[in-house]
């Protein structure tokens, strides 16, 4: 039986650059829709509200989960996704970012961009006039945060009051997680090495949205009582020249069995992937019974499907 299409969403026509574009109600609706669409997909009920719609996907950085989750998700919704490599679109070099946004908006119903500099997705959104989704930038990774929240909600039955501890670099993943937690009344602690705290402006913004994350340089103190322990790679793309220095500085922040013992009983482990076993996480944790990293990876697709449906609905 074909699932009936629903009325236009409250975020129809908007862009998703940081999660701060949305309020608590909109975030809850996106997660609700993600769970609904996941259920339909699991039971084989077709739902293709985006028939005839096209998503242009700009990749300045290579990807696995971002490309596959968006492309398969768009296909499942009845639409088409068109990946564009750095060789095909050289933003700011061969053509201005503004001109690219204006041109793609004449062909596609939405744009997803995975870029080095956050300013580029802002320029695309300003110029395009169609929804622009940040697939990753140096400051934010909103789709990842939606998948994280969806995974935690599924696993723990809700979000309000849940304690999450993120261990490691205060990077784009930590930034979007901070905003997402603030909007869902989820308690976030970020345990980071000296000099690697999250951006102060984003921490302040999280406070304005609902809750300021707790910051600490003590990983054991940070994970104490946490129901969710989360980490990311120590060296992101574009930071390769810092890799050796970061390995030394971040070594005490490895999420291993000993650190997980300081978390709450039954705590789960998350990682946005790709992971480096033996660096930011031990094999025993990421491959162990507490790990939910592949549920989390799958949920990228379901969260993004909900986002696409609601932005284009």
32 flagged as catalytic = no
Q: Indicate which residue of 140, 141, 153, 192 is catalytic.
A: 141
Q: State whether the Cα torsion 233-177-307-127 is positive or negative.
A: negative
Q: Which residues contact 71 (CB under 8 A, 6 or more apart)?
A: 57, 81, 83
Q: Indicate which residue of 114, 153, 192, 246 is catalytic.
A: 114
Q: Indicate which residue of 138, 148, 169, 232 is catalytic.
A: 232
Q: State whether the Cα torsion 14-18-24-30 is positive or negative.
A: positive
Q: Indicate which residue of 144, 227, 254, 304 is catalytic.
A: 144
Measured at the alpha carbon of residue 226, what is the angle toward residues 252 and 164, in degrees to the nearest 5? 90
Cα 291 to Cα 148, 266, 269, 271, 272: the distances in Å are 13, 11, 5, 9, 12
Structure tokens, 97: 């970012």
- Cα(210)–Cα(75) distance, integer angstroms: 35
28 flagged as catalytic = no
Structure tokens, 116: 């080095």
Q: Indicate which residue of 148, 272, 292, 304 is catalytic.
A: 272
Residues in the chain: 313
277 flagged as catalytic = no
How many alpha carbons fall within 13 Å on the CB side of residue 173?
22
Cα 255 to Cα 86, 102, 118, 228: the distances in Å are 34, 44, 29, 12
The secondary structure of 215-284, three-state, reads EECCHHHHHCCCCEEEECCCCCCCCHHHHHHHHHHHHHHCECHHHHCCCCCCCEEEECCCCCECCCECHH
Q: Indicate which residue of 118, 271, 300, 309 is catalytic.
A: 300
Classified as helix, coil or strand, 6 is coil
16 flagged as catalytic = no
Among all residues, which ones are annotated catalytic? 114, 141, 144, 232, 272, 300
């Amino acid at each position: 039986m074909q699932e009936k299409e629903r009325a236009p969403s409250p975020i129809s026509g908007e862009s998703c650059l940081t999660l701060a574009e949305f309020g608590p109600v909109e975030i809850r609706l996106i997660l609700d829709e993600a769970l609904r669409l996941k259920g339909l997909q699991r039971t084989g009920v077709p739902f293709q509200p985006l028939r005839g719609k096209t998503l242009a996907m700009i990749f300045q950085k290579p990807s696995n989960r971002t490309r596959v989750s968006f492309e398969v998700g768009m296909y499942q919704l009845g639409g088409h996704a068109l990946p564009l490599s750095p060789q095909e679109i050289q933003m700011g070099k061969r053509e201005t970012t503004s001109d690219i946004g204006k041109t793609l908006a004449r062909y596609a119903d939405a744009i997803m961009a995975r870029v080095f500099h956050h300013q580029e997705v802002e320029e695309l959104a300003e110029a395009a006039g169609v929804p622009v989704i940040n697939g990753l930038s140096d400051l934010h990774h909103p789709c990842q945060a939606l998948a994280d929240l969806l995974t935690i909600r599924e696993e723990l039955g809700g979000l309000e009051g849940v304690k999450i501890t993120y261990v490691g670099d205060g990077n784009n993943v930590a930034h979007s997680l901070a905003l997402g937690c603030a909007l869902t009344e989820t308690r976030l602690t970020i345990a980071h090495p000296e000099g690697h705290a999250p951006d102060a402006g984003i921490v302040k913004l999280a406070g304005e949205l609902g809750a300021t994350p707790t910051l600490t340089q003590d990983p054991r103190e940070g994970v104490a009582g946490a129901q969710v322990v989360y980490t990311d790679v120590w060296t992101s793309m574009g930071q390769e020249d810092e890799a050796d220095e970061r390995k030394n500085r971040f070594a005490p922040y490895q999420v291993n069995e000993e650190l997980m013992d300081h978390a709450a009983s039954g705590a789960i482990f998350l990682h946005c992937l790709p992971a480096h076993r033996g660096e930011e996480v031990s094999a025993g944790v990421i491959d162990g019974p507490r790990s939910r990293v592949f549920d989390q990876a799958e949920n990228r697709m379901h969260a993004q499907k909900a986002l696409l449906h609601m932005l284009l609905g």
